[in-house]
Structure formats: C-alpha cells, structure tokens
Amino acid sequence: MGTLNTLPCEIQWLILQHVDSTKQLGECRRVSKIWDDQAEYAMFSRQLRITPNNSRSMYMHLVKKPSRANLIKYIHLECHYFSEFTLLLLRLAITPSIERIASNVRQLDIRFYQTLAEIAGSFGVKLERLKSVPWPVNFTDTHYRTALLLKDSLEEMIIPPNIDDRPDEISKHLGEFKCLSKLQVDCVFDNLPQVESIFRGAGNLMQVGLRNCYFDNWNVWPYQERIRWMKQHVQVKDNPITLNALDEQNLGISLIEYFLFKYPHIKQFYYIANEFGDMGFEQEVDLDVEIDRQACLLISKIPSYALDLSLDYAWRTHYGSFAGDKNVFHLHYGDAFELSRYKISSIVDQNGKRSTEFEFSNGVIFEEGGFDTHTIPFLNEIGTFTTHMHMNFDVFDEGIDSISTVESKVFFKSLEVFKRLEEMSFVSSNILVSVNINLSSQYSKRRLNTLKILGTQIQPAMFHTLDQLFHTISTLTLSCCLITKDQTNTICIHMPSTALGRLILTTELDSAASPYYRYYFRDTISLITNDTYLMTNLQRGVTLYFKLSHFLSNVRQISFAEYFSRPRQANAFSIYCQLLASIELNLGGVYTTIDVQKYSEALAVVF
C-alpha cells in the first residue's frame, strides 16, 4: 500500500484521470488518504459526468463536501430524463466556477433549463464563466429566458428551426450577447432582410454554422436587386469567420452572396451536401449555367474551402472556376448506378499561391458509348487547368477488351488536352497503343516531368510511343510488366530513350504476389525480384540479357542485392548463381562477362 504513494506525480495523475465515480473514489481511499484527495481533485476538475446511475452517489458526496463543487468547470450530461437527485446534484454542482455544460442527448429534459434559470435568476448565482450550454432543436419560452440570463458570458448560441415565431426578438437579443463568437443556424428564411436581422446583432462572430438553411421562396430577388439591397442595408463585418454548412436541402447562391458580402474576410468555408443535393444550390429563378458559374466564382474567392457535393454533369463546365496555381485532380471510376460525388479543397499558402485538389467519382462518363458525348468534354474542361492528374481505373475487369479501349482512349486523350500537366499517374488494367491513331506534335510541348503508369500490361510498342510523346520527363514509374521475354528466350528491359542521364525508372511495390523491379538509371541499376518464373529460367541456365541500348553507356554500376537480404531468398539466389557460367551484359556495345559464383556468398553482383 505504502509504495503506491511513492509513485511519481505524473504517473499518479494519469491513473487518477480515469476516476469518474464515487465508487472509484472509494477504491482510491482504500489505497491511502493522499490518493483520496488527489482522486477527488482529478475527478471534479477534469469533468463531472452525470448519468442516471451516478446522480445519487455524486449528490451525496457533494452534500458531505460542498467545497468540492468549486472545482467543477465542465459538466457532461448523459441522461434523457432527470431524476430528483439529478436536479439536486445540478444545484450543487453549478457554481460560479462552471465554464461549460455539454451533452450528447439531442433533446434534454426541460427541467434542466428550468433549474439553470433558477440558479442564475432566483438564486442570484453569477455564472460569468459559463461559455456554452447544450441547446435543443426546438426552443420554448423557457429556453429563451434561460439564454437571456446567460447573455453576458455565453460564447455559443443556436437559432432553431422555429425562428418564424419570433425573428425580431431573436435579432434584438443576439445584440446583447457580447461574448457570442459561435452561432449555429438551423432554419428556413423568408428573405434577405430576415437573414440580416439575425446577423446584424451578432457582431463578434468567428464561426457560423448553417444547417438546412435556404429560402422557402422560389421568387428570390434577381441578382442586381440583391446586390443593390445589400449595399444599402447590410452591415459589413471584418471578422475572419469560418463558415460551415451542412445541407439536406440546398444552400442557395443568395446566402453565399450574402455571407461573402457581409464577411469579406471569410477565411474558411466547409460545405457538405447530402446525397440528394441538386448541385448544392436551391432552385431560385432559373437554375441555369450562369447561376452555377456565379456560385463557383464566389466560393473560389475564399482563401480556404472544402466542398463535398452530389452534382450532375452541368457542373463540369465550372471546374475551371476553382483553378489555382497548382491543381491536383483525382479521378476514380464509380458505379454507374451510384450518384456522382464531387469533392474539392483549396488553400492559399503564405506566398499567395493557391493549391486546389479535386476528387471526382463517376462511372457513366467512362462507359464506351459515352466517350464522345461525356468523356471528351469532361477532359477538355479540366485539361485547361490541371497540373497533377491521378486516374485510377483499376476496378475494371482486365479481360474485357472494350474496357481496355476506354482506358486507353482516356489515357491518350488526357495527354493530348492537358495543357498545364506536370505530373500524371495512371492506374488501369491495360493500355492499347493501337487506339492512339494520331499522335499530336503538341505532346512534346507539355511541361510533364513525372509520369506513372501502374497495374498495366505494358507492351514494348508503348515505349516507342512514349519516345514520340515526351521530351521533358525526368521521372517515369512503370509497372513490372515492362519486363518481357523475346523469341530468343532473352529477358529484356524495355524503356523509352528520352531524357536519359536524368531519367529515373522505378516500380512501386504494392503486391507480394507479383514480381517487381526497381531501376535507377543514373549511376546505378538495382534489381528487386521475387519472380519465380525468372528464377526458374536462371536455374535452367538461360542467359540473362539486359538489352540496354547504346544510350545507357553512362551507367557505371549494376547491383542485385536488396531483395535477397532475407535467408530464404538469399539461399535460393546463391544456388541459381552457381548454376550460371556467366551473365552477359551489353552496355553501350561493350560486352562484359562476369563470373557470378564468387559473389554468391555476398549475395550481390557488382560491376
């Protein structure tokens, strides 16, 4: 028992952080009186959890030691129904020291607010530190009276759905909440004046949450009339607010216009639409292309924003509105029967450069029949601004030729229309060079310096095609299928001949079941393999040719060692090496015969 008291204070404190009931306090008391005092302090100063099971015992404990209530700064309510002991406990626990009351219960017992109002009103307890209280979805007069009693300290407030009953009263009272910095709005507006009547009073907001907010009126004012009215009546604020919107309906361009006008220094905007959201904006006036364009341009002015929307194809014509200095586009194949999802996140760095990431998932536009009608317009639009492109069609069945044709068309069309492309990653089942009928001379003018082609059955002809397309690539990543076996039983490495000396040819290792090779074509070539086919042919004495063209004459060293560091693979490699008389290498026309047996112990061949 005594040794526990000698534990370092840090260790004791970590243990005591788990004490949250009088029963656990009793366990500490059995250890020592010192632990009892420390456990009380840890429990009450950290958080007081009030549940249906512990209300009585907690109440009895505070009755015996009422001074402990002054330690309580944070109360978490976990009960729907408040018993008499719960209410009595609240009367003891809520003191001038209280800072926050929270709950995971959506609709708390109305008696909680009555008790809170009684403490702050009838009992005259000054709750000057209380910053937040859990508010219900539906307000009553009791909720309003309680909120007004706490107006000098509350930092968080909610505007409930039943705002229609008293919008003027809400506006008047919000102006009295001097510390209010976070406002959650969950209601349907009639018009812009009603919106301004609410936010005019809240002058110190730093965070605004909108939930299912839109105009319940299709006759929204025309654009010019909205702007004219806002210039005359909206009180502009310089607060750098964060705006969060979560919609089950549609947010509405009018609301976006309003917030951008009222808060021109919005620093962050997060918007998530439900899966039935129709482009994220309400059907105001005629929801045409121009309305969509205005909405995109407005959002693009915000320094940092993130959108997660369910959109139809009309939005493809507005992707460019979000473009920045660096634009990363992630394109995924999705089930044609699923709704398209569109995600975008953007941020401006300290140098004023905007970086935007797009993520688009859809299956319809990549079907064979829709290539000309959907895919080409889509690629043409995003091709004007995309700098980094990542396509993943690996979910397709490798055995379907029509799918391979679509993948190939998408690949070559992307290379043709992406004007600003610097880096591209393409994951698919196959690329058919035959579909690339007309090679454009403009390919060579691209800024592309990094290209990754993964998971693809690469044909030798592909490398000839790449030679024609690019003269700027410095990093090329290809799948393992670049290793082929010709008619003379020779293992060949195929690669494009462009930009050698600064070209790095690598392979990503992502599956233990397939052979993988990694090549560094600068000063060193390294080989990693678990290819049983290759090793079997070595065992049969097949000569291994690295058919490297004359342009690799700058290579000075080749090593095989990395994969064989584990005993099992190392032993296998040693046996295979002993069966070989030599390995012939063609480096720049100079043939070198190497006896590998003396290197088998070291598990490496160094030239």
Q: Are residues 142 and 193 in the same domain?
A: no
Q: Which residue has the higher pLDDT, 581 or 33?
A: 33
Residue at a domain's end among 366, 401, 436: 436
Strand partners, 207: 182, 242
Residue 339 DSSP symbol: P
Those residues with Cβ within 8 angstroms of residue 222's Cβ, 6 or more apart along the chain or in another chain: 285
Maximum CA pair distance of the chain?
Answer: 100
Q: Are residues 211 and 344 in the same domain?
A: no
Residue at a domain's end among 367, 401, 436: 436
User: Are residues 125 and 102 in contact, defined by beta-carbon separation less than 8 angstroms?
Assistant: no
Q: Are residues 145 and 166 in the same domain?
A: no
Q: Are residues 20 and 159 in the same domain?
A: no
Tell whether the model's pLDDT for residue 100 goes beyond 90. Answer: yes
On whether residue 513 sits in a domain, the answer given is yes
On whether residue 443 sits in a domain, the answer given is no
Instruction: Write down the pLDDT at residue 14.
Output: 53
Tell whether the model's pLDDT for residue 116 goes beyond 70. Answer: yes
Q: Are residues 138 and 159 in the same domain?
A: no
User: Are residues 282 and 249 in contact, defined by beta-carbon separation less than 8 angstroms?
Assistant: yes
pLDDT tens for residues 128-156? 999 999 988 777 788 888 888 998 899 99
On whether residue 313 sits in a domain, the answer given is no
Task: Find the angle CA(599)-CA(602)-CA(606) to the nearest 5 degrees.
Answer: 55
Q: Are residues 74 and 141 in the same domain?
A: yes
Domain with 494 in it: 456-606
Confidence of residue 77 (pLDDT cuts 50, 70, 90): very high
Tell whether the model's pLDDT for residue 231 goes beyond 60. Answer: yes
Q: Are residues 202 and 268 in the same domain?
A: yes
- The percentage of the chain sitting over the pLDDT mark of 70, rounded to a whole number, equals 52
Least confident of 99-108, 509-518, 578-587: 509-518
Confidence of residue 356 (pLDDT cuts 50, 70, 90): very high
Q: Are residues 38 and 106 in the same domain?
A: no
pLDDT tens for residues 410-442? 888 888 888 888 888 887 766 766 655 455 555
Q: Are residues 63 and 127 in the same domain?
A: yes
Confidence of residue 206 (pLDDT cuts 50, 70, 90): very high
User: How many Å apart are CA 467 and CA 273, to the nearest integer?
Assistant: 45
User: How many Å apart are CA 215 and CA 281, to the nearest integer?
Assistant: 10
On whether residue 25 sits in a domain, the answer given is yes
Q: Are residues 143 and 242 in the same domain?
A: no
Closest CA to 271 of 228, 315, 240, 302: 302
Strand partners, 527: 560
Q: Are residues 472 and 598 in the same domain?
A: yes
Q: What is the mean pLDDT of residues 24-34?
A: 59
Residue at a domain's end among 124, 154, 184: 154
Q: How many domains does the chain have?
A: 5
Q: What is the mean pLDDT of residues 252-259?
A: 81
Those residues with Cβ within 8 angstroms of residue 291's Cβ, 6 or more apart along the chain or in another chain: 253, 281, 284, 285
On whether residue 524 sits in a domain, the answer given is yes
Instruction: Write down the pLDDT at residue 518.
Output: 33
Task: Give, in order, the Cα–Cα distances in Å from 488 to each of 263, 460, 542, 543, 587.
Answer: 73, 16, 10, 10, 19
User: Are residues 380 and 417 in contact, defined by beta-carbon separation less than 8 angstroms?
Assistant: yes
Instruction: Write down the pLDDT at residue 411.
Output: 83
Torsion of CA 591, 596, 602, 606, to 10 degrees: 0
Q: Ranked by mean pLDDT, which of 19-28, 247-256, 471-480, 554-563 comes out on top?
A: 247-256
Task: Give, in order, the Cα–Cα distances in Å from 386 to each of 97, 223, 255, 319, 415.
Answer: 55, 31, 30, 10, 11
Q: Are residues 362 and 385 in the same domain?
A: yes
